[in-house]
Amino acid sequence: MAADRLRRFFLSFSLMLIAVALGACSTSEVMRTSAPVPTSASSKYAAIVIDANSGRTLHAVAADEPRYPASLTKMMTLYMVFEAIQQGRMTPSTQIPVSAYAASRPPTKLYLKAGQSVDADTAMRSLATKSANDVATAVAEYLGGSETRFADMMTAKARQLGMTHTVFRNASGLPDAQQRTTARDMAVLSLALRRHFPSMYGYFGLRGFAYRGKTIRGHNKVLDMVSGADGIKTGYTRASGFNLATSVSRDGKRLVAVVMGEKTARERDALMAQLVERFLPEASRR
């Protein structure tokens, strides 16, 4: 009888330890998953966060819904320039002529004059930082013969990269009702730019550049707001709202995040910083 009571005691004690352990695990899981996720009140809002090491989607809101890319378009324009340099069709010193049409594009711009030319290195710097629309059109005409033809080339490249919901109609992101993308497609492009052009990706991390004796500052404030941020591009039109694609590398972890449709640049940048801090702990190391 004493032996039976002893066995029942040890059985009850073991079950209690198991219950305590399971309860601790459950509590830990609740704590991990209940951390607040940043949100936006904008009706144009879309966002995605991707673990750049594994490709796993860590967060998505309306990530496959159509949005206007605005100047995120220039990420693809630069992809096409990087590819042309990689393939030997141009070099950073190649002179790109400026047509009257390119010079007429509205700001933001370098205010190039018709008949001038701009070297490809300056063009890449101005596209990544200043988001110059006159330069984007000049590049499009140089590589595609016309901006319309170049936009078709951009769309074809988007399909090759797996950007299934993106259509380009110009090289700048200036308003066009038919120019559409998604937050996910912009994340795919962000990942492809680093993967395919590691030696040229650094253009997206520039804070500014010197041009004709002046220092031209970039628009991407998140580069200084978020530890480990190394790119990539801002964008805005009235139709799109404030857009941003960001790449972050920290302690062997890498994220790519896209925020689209925010109401102000300040809100967009703050939300991006919050998303990075919220989801970077969930990313994998190399």
Output the known binding site: 233
* Binding region for substrate: 233
Q: Catalytic residue among 40, 42, 44, 74, which?
A: 74
Please report, as a single letter, which amino acid is at residue 205. Answer: G
Q: Are 127 and 74 in contact (CB under 8 A)?
A: yes
**Whole-angstrom distance, CA of residue 32 vs CA of residue 126:** 42
DSSP state letters, the chain: -HHHHHHHHHHHHHHHHHHHHHHHHHHHHHHHHTSPPP----TT-EEEEEETTT--EEEEESTTS-B--GGGHHHHHHHHHHHHHHTTS--TT-EEE--HHHHTPPSSS--PPTT-EEEHHHHHHIIIII--HHHHHHHHHHHHSSHHHHHHHHHHHHHHHT-TT-B-S-SS----TT-BB-HHHHHHHHHHHHHH-TTTGGGGG-SEEEETTEEEEPS-THHHHSTTEEEEEEEEETTTEEEEEEEEEETTEEEEEEEEEESSHHHHHHHHHHHHHHHGGGSPB-
**Active-site hit among 42, 131, 190, 240:** 131
Q: Is 131 a catalytic residue?
A: yes
Q: Which of 40, 42, 44, 71 is catalytic?
A: 71
For this structure, is 109 an active site residue? no
Q: Indicate if 263 belongs to the active site.
A: no
- Residue pair 232/193 in contact (Cβ under 8 Å)? The answer is yes
The span from the CA of 172 to the CA of 75, in Å, is 9
* Residues designated catalytic: 71, 74, 131
